[in-house]
Structure 1
C-alpha cells in the first residue's frame, strides 16, 4: 500500500521532472485501485508541500472533490494551484460562487485569468452578475472576452467604461464590437469622432482579422472627420492584403488628416495595385520613406513609380534613386547631372555621378578618392565602393578591393569610412580571390597608429560579413580571411557573429558545419573555439541535433578563456532534451559553474536533486576562488523544491544576514531574498528592528513578498505612524491584494483615523480599490475633519462606488470645498465613468465651472469641453462669461468650452451672440492701466480658436457665419483670417469660390499681403491632400481674376514643393509682370533656383 511516508521518501531524491512523472503514475494507479482517497487524506494532514502534492495527485486522477476542498485551504499557494486545477477540470459554477466573495484580489485575478485562458464561457456568464455586484464593473469587464455574444451585447453598454483590453474583446467578438463602435459613431456628431476612435480604436484593430471589410467601412466613414487611429497601424498591412485598392484610396484621399502609416507590411501589400495608384501613394512620401516604399515593390515597376512621383525634381532623394533597377538608375542620374543645381554643387554632383553606369562613373569616382583633402577623400570612398556594389558584379567589386592599396597610408577618418563602406557591401559579392586583399585591408587598418574605435568597429563588421558569407556559401577561404582580420584586433579572442545561419535552407546547416569543420577542429586542438561558438549560436535550434558540433561544444567547456567557457556552457545546455543530464556533468566537473545563469536555472527548475550539493556548500573552481562565500540568487523556483531544500536555503540566507563579517549592503540583499523564500516570514520579522536602517527597511519591504502577504499586514500597519512609514505604506499595496476583503477592511479602518496623512490616503485607496465590505460607509465617515489630501483621495475613490448614493453625497461636498478638493472631482474623465452616471457627473463639472471662486471655476471650465455631450446647462452661462468684460479670470476657458459646445451641437448661434456683444463693447478700456481693448482681444481669441481647428466643417461653418459681422464692423484682418479658414479645399470648385471670397475681403494692400501669408502658412497641410495639378489650376484662376496676391501665396509653397516645374514657373513669370507693383515686387523676391 502506498502511504504518504513512502511516497514522500520515493520523491525525495528525484529531480522535479521525474518527481512529477512518478506522482502522475501513482495517481492513476491508485485511482484505479480505490486507494487514492486514503493517500490524499494522509497527505492533507501534513504540511503545505504535502497538500500541494495531494492536489497534484487529485488533479491527475480527476478527483474534483479534493480539488474543491483545496479551494478553501488556508495557504495561498494551495488555493492558487487549486484554482487552476478546478478550471481545467471544469468544476461546476456553484463550487466557485460560494467562495468568490471571500477570495483576495490576487486570487480572484488568478481565477479570472484561468477562465479566460481555458475559455470557460459558461462559467464566466454565471459569475458575471455576481462579480459585478460584489466587486464592481472593472472586475466583471475582465470576463467579457469569453462570454457569448448575446451576453456581451447586453453587458457592453454598462461596462464599456471599465474595459481595459479592447483589443482582446475585438478579437473574441469582432461583429459585436464593430456594431457597438458603429452605434457609438452614429450617436454623436462628427466632432466627437476622434474621441470615439481614441477609445475604441483597439477594438476595431482587434476585429480587423475577422471583419476586414467592416473595419475598412468604418475607416472610410471616419476619414473626413478624424485622423486614422494609431491602433490601426499594426493591422493596416493585413487590411491592405485583403483590399489593397481600398486602402490605397484611403491613404491618398484628400480628406485624410493625421499621420500616414509607415509599416513595411503595408507597402508590400500595396505592391499589387496599378502604377497610377502606386504613384499617388508615393507622392505622399519623401526621402527614406520613399526609398522603403520603392524597395517593397517589384524592381520592374520602380522606375515608373519614381518618375511619376517626382517628375523632374532636382532634389530627388538619392536613396530612392538607389532602389531603381540598374538599367533605369543611370538615366535618372544623367538627368540630374544636366541640372545646374546639381552641376554647380560638387558634393551633390559626385553623389549623383556614383549612380551612373560603372563605366561612366569609375574614373571620376576613383579620381575623387585621390583628392587633396582628407574630407574630400572621406566623401569619395563610400561613393566609389557603393557604385561598385551597385553593379552586382563580383568581378567589378573584386577589382575595386584589390585596388584599395592607398588606404594603408590614409588618415584614420578616411580609412574608417572606407572600411565601413566595404562592410556594407553584400557578402555574396566577395570572392575567395580577394581574400588576401581583404585581410591586408583589415590588418593595415587595425595596426595603424591612429586606429580609432570607429575603425575597429568597421573592421569587425567587415570581418563578420566575410565570415558569415564564407560559412553560408561554403567558401572557407573567406572564413579564414575574416578570422585573420579579427585576430589582429585584440589580444583577447574576438567574438564572431554568424546571425542568420538558422535561415538557411533545411539541411544546409550540415554542409556549413562540414565546410568549417577542418578549421573548427584545428582551432580546438589549439584551445580556440570562436568559430565553433559562432556557428552554434548562429544555427540556434538547428545546432541541437548536430552530434559532432555538440561534442565540440562539450570540449569547449575546458577552454582556458572564462568567456569561452561561459558561452560554451550556455550553448551546450540549450537543447532541452539533454539539459538535465548535461547540467549534472557541468556541475560535477566544476561546482563553481553554479554562478552561471544557465546552470543555476537548470538546477533550480529541473535538476532539483542537485540542490543538496549547492545549498550550504562553498563551491570553488574556475569561477569561484576557494574561501569565497557564494549564495546563489535563486528566485521564482521554490514551488518546485522540497521543504527541506527551502528550509536549508532560508537558513543560508539568514546566516549571511546575521554574519558580522557581511556588509550592510550584503545583509540587505540577503534579507530581500529571504522574503521570497516560502515559510521565512518569522525569519524576516526578526530583521525589522535591525540596527542598520537599510536592513530594517529591506525587511519591511520583504514582508510583502513572503508566501502569505495577507498575514503580515498588521506588521506593516504597525509602522505607518513611524519613520518607516514610507516603506511600510508602499508595501501595504501588495499585502492588500492577498488579504480577504472582510479582513482587509477591518485592518485598515483604524488607519483612516490615524495621524499620518500618507497612510490615510493609502488606506482610502486600498479600501476603495479592493471593495471591502462597508467601504462606502467607512470612506464617507473619513470625510469629516479630513486633511485636504485625504479628501482628494476620497473623491478619487468614489469612482468605484458611483452606484451608491453616498458616493454622490461625498462628491457634492467636494464640489463645495476648496478648489484643490473640488479639482479632484475633475480628475475623472467621461471614459472612466459609467455612461449611466455621466449626465449626473456632468452636473458636478458644471457646478464647479459656475463656482464663484475664479480658481475653482477655471478648473471646471477647462474640463467642461469633455463633458459637454452629457450637459444640459446650455451655452448661455458660457456666453455670459465670455462677454462679461469684468470677468478677467475665466473668460478664456469659457471661450474654449463654448467653441466645443457649438461644434457638438452644430449651432453657431452662441458664437454669433458673443461676437455681437463684443463688437458692441469695442472701445471700452482703451489703453487704460492694466487693460486694453478687452473686447477686441476676446474676438481675436475666438478667431484663433477657429483657426486652430480649420480642417473641421464646424470651423468653416462658424467662420462663414462670423465673417459678415466682422467685415461690416471694420475688422478686415480677422474677416480675412476666417475667410481662409472657411475655404473648403477638399471640394473642387468650392475651394476656388472660397478663395475668391478671401480676395473680395482683402481689398487693401495690407489685407492682401496678410491673406497671401496665411495661404502660404496653410498650404503645406493642403498640399498633402491635394494634387499639384489642382493647385496650379486654382492659382492660375486666381491670377486671372484679380486675386494675384493669393495666387502668389499658393505658388510659393506649392511651386517649391513641386520642384518648380514649367507650369509654376510660367505662373510666376506672369505675376512678375502684373499691373500691381506690390505683386510684381513680391513675385520678384521669390526664386525658383538659387545661385
Structure 2
C-alpha cells in the first residue's frame, strides 16, 4: 500500500474536524522532506477528494509552489478552494493573478471578494485596467472595493453607473464616496453606508440636499447613528422631511419628539390629516391638543367632511367631542355627494361615541336595541367604549348590566360583540361586579349549538386578559371556568404559559379534570396532548399530563416529543434517555418503551433491558437497539486515534438474526393496485 493510500485509510473514519487536524499535523511532521513532496504529488494525481487533501496539507506547511499549481490548474473547484491561501498566505501576486485565466464569472467574483477581505490593494489596482478591458465595467466595479483609496477616488466617477454594491464601497472607502456625493447628485441610500466614518459630514450633506424622494428606504439604524452625533439636528432633519412624515415616524424621531421644543414642532405641523395622525401618534397625550388646533389654524379652517374621523382616537376628550359634533352636523345637514359612499348606518354612531357619556348614552342605547343588526352590533360596542372612556368602573358595570339581558337571546354573530369590546378595555375598569353577567353570557354563548369559533375566541381572549392582569378572586374564577369551557370545546390553543400566573396551571387542570377523565375513558388523549402543548414548560411538573403523554408516546410523535422534552429538562435522578419510537430491537426482538407506569418517572431499581442506555457517539442508533445488544469495539486504530471517539468506531452492533414481519399474503380475489388492471 502506498503512503498516500495508507494515510487516506488512516483518516477515513475520523470526523471532519479531527481529520483535517490529523492531516495538518502529519504534514507539518514531515515538512521539508522529499517524502512530503512525493506524497503531495501522489495525492494530486488522484481524484478530486485526494487533490483537496493535498491542497490542505500544502497550506498547512505553507508550500506556495503547490498552491500556485492549484490556482492555475484545470480543476475549477480546487481553484476556488485555493483562494483561501490567497487570503491567509503570502502568495505572490503573479501566482494569484493566474486564477483569472479562463475563469468563469463565479470564480472571478469569488477572487474579487478574496482580494477585498485580504486587503491586497496593490494586486487589485494592477488588475483593475485588465478586468475592465476584458470583462467590462460591471466586473471592474465589482473589483473596485478591493482597490486602494487613490484608485477608488480616481475611478469611481467613471464606474458609478455599474457599482453592484454601494455597501462595500461605503464600508471600505467612505471618503471617496462622500466626495462623490458632494460633487454630483446621488440617492441618499447609496451613501448612507459611509456614515460610520464621518457622521457629522453626512449630516451636513443631508441638511443641504435633503432626504430625497425615497427616504422611506433608508434604514432606521442610519438615523440612530446620526442621532448619537447630534440629536437636535437629526430630529429637525426628520421633521422637515414632508415625504417621510406620511408614514409612522421611526424610533429616532419618536425619541426626539418627546423632548422637542414647541417652537420647532409648530414650524413643521402638517395640514394633511393622515400626516397629522402619524405625528400625533408619536407625541405624548398632553401635547396633542394644541398641535391639532395649530394644524386647524394653519389650514384656515376645520378638515373638510369627515377627514378628522381618524384623529378622534388621538385627541383629548374635549377636542374629540367638539370635532365629533361638527362632523355630525355636517353629515346630517343636507344631501351631498359624499352620502353615496358614506351611507353607513354605523357611521353616525361612531361619531356619537366620542361625545360625553351623558350625551352619547341615550342615542347609543337606543341603537343597541334597534331592529337592524347592522346598527345593533356596532352600537353595543361603541356604548362600551364610550363608557370605558370615562374611566369609571361603576359606569362600565352599569353599561354591561344593561346590555347583558339583551345578549342572552341574540344570535351567534352578535353574542361575541360584548366580550370583544371588553377585551379592549383597560383592565383596571373590570371589577368583580361584572362576574354574574359574564358567567351567564359565557355559559350561554359557549354551550349553544350555533356557537361559532369567533365568539368562543372572544370569550377566551377576555378571560386571558383577566388572568394576565387582574387578581380579583371572582374574576379569576370566572376566567378559569371560561378557559376550561373553551378548551373543552375547541382544544387548547396558543401559549397558556404566557397567560397563566405561577401556579394557575394547576387550577386550570382542576377545572378540566372531568373533561380529561371522560376523554381517557374513551381512549382519547388528544385533549391532554393539546393542553401540554399550550402549557409548554408549565406541563413538566404536572404528573397527570406526563402520564398521558407517556401513554400516547408510542403512537403519537407530538406526545413523544413533549414527553421527551419534560424528561430532558429535569425530572427525578432515575430518569434515563427516552426515545420517541416504539419498535422491536433487531438484536433480541424486545419492544420498548415498556408499559406506562403511574408517574412520569420510571420505577426505582435496575433498568429494563429493553430500554437503550445512554451512549456517547452511538446514541442516535440506539433507537433500533436495546442496551444489551450493544458492545464496545476494541481499539484497533494506531497512534492518536485509539481513543475511539469517532462516531463510526465507538459502538459495534451485534449481528444477530434479523427480525422482520412476514410479508402480507396477496389474496387471489382481493383488490389490486397494479397498473395492468384492477380486480
User: TM-score normalised to the size of structure 2?
Assistant: 0.63
2:371 aligned counterpart, secondary structure = coil
Please report how far the alpha carbon of residue 156 of structure 1 lies from its aligned counterpart in structure 2 after TM superposition.
Answer: 0.3
- CA distance 1:465–1:87, change in 2 (3 Å): farther
2:152 aligned counterpart, secondary structure = helix
| CA displacement 1:831-865 (0-9 Å, x = unmatched) | xxxxxxxxxxxxxxxxxxxxxxxxxxxxxxxxxxx
1:463 corresponds, among 460, 465, 485, to 460
Structure 1 equivalent of residue 374 of structure 2 = 375
1:323 corresponds, among 309, 314, 326, to 314
Structure 2 distance, partners of 1:559, 1:436, is 42
- CA distance 1:465–1:79, change in 2 (3 Å): farther
| CA displacement 1:328-367 (0-9 Å, x = unmatched) | 3245315643776268488555334433555665565444
1:23 corresponds, among 19, 22, 25, to 19
- Check conservation: 1:93, 1:126, Cα contact below 8 A: no
Q: How does 1:914-925 map to 2 (within 5 A)?
A: none
Q: How does 1:646-725 map to 2 (within 5 A)?
A: none
Structure 2 equivalent of residue 262 of structure 1 = 247
- Check conservation: 2:247, 2:278, Cα contact below 8 A: no
1:99 aligned counterpart, secondary structure = helix
1:296 corresponds, among 276, 279, 282, to 282
Structure 2 equivalent of residue 407 of structure 1 = 407
- Check conservation: 1:554, 1:568, Cα contact below 8 A: no
Structure 2 equivalent of residue 277 of structure 1 = 264
Structure 1 distance, partners of 2:565, 2:504, is 21
- Check conservation: 1:141, 1:159, Cα contact below 8 A: yes
Q: How does 1:968-1007 map to 2 (within 5 A)?
A: none
Structure 2 distance, partners of 1:458, 1:115, is 63
Structure 2 equivalent of residue 533 of structure 1 = 533
Q: Once superposed, what is the RMSD of the aligned Cα atoms?
A: 5.5
* Comparing 265-274 and 552-561, the one that deviates more: 552-561
Q: How does 1:613-628 map to 2 (within 5 A)?
A: none
- Check conservation: 2:170, 2:193, Cα contact below 8 A: yes
Q: Are 2:330 and 1:333 aligned?
A: no
Please report how far the alpha carbon of residue 22 of structure 1 lies from its aligned counterpart in structure 2 after TM superposition.
Answer: 1.8
2:369 aligned counterpart, secondary structure = coil
- Check conservation: 1:427, 1:466, Cα contact below 8 A: no
Q: How does 1:382-393 map to 2 (within 5 A)?
A: 382-390=381-389
Structure 2 distance, partners of 1:573, 1:72, is 56
- CA distance 1:107–1:471, change in 2 (3 Å): farther
- Check conservation: 1:237, 1:263, Cα contact below 8 A: no
- CA distance 1:472–1:349, change in 2 (3 Å): closer
Structure 2 distance, partners of 1:547, 1:10, is 47
Q: How does 1:839-858 map to 2 (within 5 A)?
A: none
- CA distance 1:586–1:347, change in 2 (3 Å): closer
Q: Point out which structure has higher relative CO (alpha carbons under 8 A, 6+ apart).
A: 1
Structure 2 equivalent of residue 165 of structure 1 = 165
Q: Are 2:107 and 1:107 aligned?
A: yes
Q: Are 2:159 and 1:174 aligned?
A: no
- CA distance 1:563–1:257, change in 2 (3 Å): same
Which has the larger helix fraction?
1
Structure 2 spans left out of the alignment, 5+ residues: 334-344, 570-575, 586-615, 625-646, 649-672
- Check conservation: 2:367, 2:376, Cα contact below 8 A: yes
Q: How does 1:586-985 map to 2 (within 5 A)?
A: 586=580
1:98 aligned counterpart, secondary structure = helix
- CA distance 1:370–1:53, change in 2 (3 Å): farther
| CA displacement 1:696-725 (0-9 Å, x = unmatched) | xxxxxxxxxxxxxxxxxxxxxxxxxxxxxx
- CA distance 1:148–1:59, change in 2 (3 Å): same
- CA distance 1:252–1:202, change in 2 (3 Å): closer
- CA distance 1:107–1:228, change in 2 (3 Å): closer
Structure 1 spans left out of the alignment, 5+ residues: 186-196, 502-508, 537-542, 576-581, 592-606, 618-640, 643-660, 664-1091
Q: Are 2:307 and 1:308 aligned?
A: no
Q: Are 2:493 and 1:495 aligned?
A: yes
| CA displacement 1:141-168 (0-9 Å, x = unmatched) | 1233344432311120222121122244
